[in-house]
Amino acid sequence: MTSPDIDVHAPPAPGERVVLFLHGGGYLSWSAHPHFLMGKHSRGLLAHIPSVHRALAVEYRLTDISPRAMSEAERHPFPTALLDALSGLDYLLNGLGFAMENVIVVGDSAGANLALALARHLVENIQELHARVPEKFPSATEVPRYYLLLLSAWSDMGTSHAGKGTSAERNVDDYLVDIFKGPLGEASKRYPGPLGVEAAEKHEYISPASKNIDVSFKGFPRTFIEVGDIDRFYDMVGTLRQRMVRDIGEGRDGVRYFEAKGAVHDHLLFPFSEPEDKAVLEAIGDWVEGDK
């Protein structure tokens, strides 16, 4: 998706930033196509971040939980989606020529889970990235300070945020009915694939906000975390925020947080809370453009 006067394949203009968008859908459904529902996220960002003129939405392979997916490989479990996200990033950096520090990695819901996994992969493999593409990763110890935008992050695929009094139970006005059963519950079993079902409870790439493990976020980039206060994911996003603030701090180069009042899960996709939607997008634009 691009602004009307931009060639999608053109090298970046001076100061141009770009969105790498990873869509939600529980790793089971939805699409990155700009005319699909999820395209609203990219359109909103293009309209509110002046230095962004195009967005690459990755059509990553979805996890198949149907009986017809006979083999594990056919189900596209972890790390299939992560490999596809990496391919998208590689295209922006080495295909088009963007600098890492001008990339805005955006994910909503399961896409935010994937964005967190991508960030962790970069941190854990920085020495290899430096050796292979030193012009894009000039340091062997630190990833360039890009942008990480997390919307309604599904940051705990396990059950550590379940139980009486939790947002998963009390936020009954959210359209998500049960985040531990049905399709999302099945996804939490299938998506970990070769890591085993227990990975949903105790793996930093799958559930970085799980209370069953203590996960480090040292080396992560500046991050904007957004969630609605009646989102069933509210509590897990709160845990994620606390851990990231502990490890990378708050403010311009740490964590920025926005809590949308009266807003449901992934509310920017729907016309439920338009005043809050506008405020969120304006805050994101200010966060990105604050460097200028």
- 256 and 223 Cβ atoms separated by less than 8 Å: yes
Q: What's the average pLDDT block by block, 10 residues per block, for the chain (292 residues)?
A: 77 96 93 85 95 96 75 81 98 98 98 98 98 97 97 98 96 92 90 94 98 97 98 98 98 95 94 86 96 55
What residue type is 56 in one-letter code?
Answer: L
Phi, psi of 222 (to 5 degrees): -55, 140
State how far the alpha carbon of 268 is from the alpha carbons of 16, 41, 178, 236, in Å: 24, 7, 21, 19
Rounded-to-10 torsion of CA 144, 241, 92, 35: -160
Q: How far is CA 231 from CA 54, 118, 171, in A?
A: 29, 24, 6
* Angle, helices 274-289/39-48, rounded to nearest 10 degrees: 60
* pLDDT confidence of residue 34: 81
Contact 240, 208 (CB under 8 A): yes
Q: Decide if 108 contacts 155 (C-beta within 8 A).
A: no
The pLDDT value given to residue 96: 97
Q: In whole angstroms, give the CA distance from residue 152 to residue 25.
A: 12
Q: Which pLDDT score is estimated for 212?
A: 98
pLDDT reported for residue 74: 66
Spatial separation of the C-alpha atoms in residues 144 and 122, rounded to whole Å: 10
Task: Measure CA 266 to chain center.
Answer: 12
Which residues, including other chains, have CB under 8 Å from residue 246's CB and lie 6 or more apart?
217
Looking at residue 291, what is its pLDDT? Answer: 59
258: β partners: 226
The tokens of 202 are what?
Answer: 């105790």
Q: What whole-number distance in Å separates Cα of residue 220 and Cα of residue 175?
A: 31
Looking at residue 139, what is its pLDDT? 97
User: Judging by DSSP bridges, how do beta strands 255-260 and 147-151 pair with one another?
Assistant: unpaired
At residue 105, what is the residue type? Answer: V
φ and ψ at residue 191, rounded to 5 degrees: -60, -40
CA separation for the pair 283, 263 (Å, rounded):
16
Give the whole-angstrom CA distance, residue 102 versus residue 288. 10
